[in-house]
Structure 1
Amino acid sequence: MQVITLQKPSKKITYRTTYILKPSLTEEEITKEIEDYQKLLIDNGAEDIIIENTGKCRLAYLINKQNDGIYFQITYRGANTLVNILQRRMRLSINTLRYQTFKV
């Protein structure tokens, strides 16, 4: 008797992650952070990746003794496990002040 296991196909959902980087970073460090996140998404099966730099803005309140932050948005399609992987990387990064992910 042969046992067949069925796997649920993973749905690709569109997500938007907004994150804030430290304002003291140089252009090279900012580019490296962006490329690291983009590579992480690609390596884990994300599609249609769009990265937007919304610029440096004043924060509503201090975050890690910072008044300003550089805002970015990443829009991508992927499985729900991808969000956990990306947020874990952002949580461990010393250059990321805050992040939030939404389903689009």
Structure 2
Amino acid sequence: MSQQYEMIFILRPDFSEEQVNQAVTTYKEFLTENNATNLEVKIWGKRRLAYPIQKKVDGIYVQFNYQADGTQIAPLERMMRLGEEVMRYLTIRLDTVSSETAEEEPEVAEPEAVASEA
């Protein structure tokens, strides 16, 4: 069964644009070879980190959105962990919203009329 996943990883800030594109292409090709579909890549660029990682205060953020069966995640994260270009990574599974639940509006309780005693 195919699920929707989102992966964000942070590359070292001293990478050139060519090195960033090469790293992104490597991970993108790995996902496509392992049956990931609807792959979207967003390169956010260099951003300030919330806290220093490996004595670096900036990083190049990249986001992947894709559909897959989940068997690609562990090998991809292992590639990132063993490589020197990725400082941090995180993969999450997104909730799928069916068309039925998206159309339903949440029920709102109507205020009850209060009978006053005179």
Letter of the 1:39 counterpart: E
Aligned partners of 2:85 and 2:70: how far apart in 1? 24
Write 1 or 2 for the structure with the bigger share of strand.
1
- Per chain length, whose mean CA-contact separation is higher, i.e. which structure has more relative contact order (CA < 8 Å, sep 6+)? 1
Name structure 1 gaps, 5 residues minimum: 1-10
CA offset at residue 86 of structure 1? Answer: 1.2
Equivalent in 51, 56, 73 of residue 46 of structure 2 = 56
1:12 and 2:2 aligned? yes
Moved over 3 A (4+): none
CA offset at residue 92 of structure 1? Answer: 1.1
Query: Under a length normalisation based on structure 2, what TM-score does the superposition of the two structures give?
Result: 0.77
CA offset at residue 46 of structure 1? Answer: 0.4
In the comparison of the two structures, how many residue pairs are matched? 94
- Percent of aligned positions with the same letter in both sequences? 35
Query: Under a length normalisation based on structure 1, what TM-score does the superposition of the two structures give?
Result: 0.87
Name structure 2 gaps, 5 residues minimum: 95-118
Task: Name the structure 2 match of 1:99.
Answer: 89
CA offset at residue 29 of structure 1? Answer: 0.7
Query: Mapping of 1:1-104 within 5 angstroms?
Result: 11-104=1-94
Aligned partners of 1:76 and 1:85: how far apart in 2? 15
Aligned partners of 2:32 and 2:70: how far apart in 1? 14
Aligned partners of 1:23 and 1:12: how far apart in 2? 34
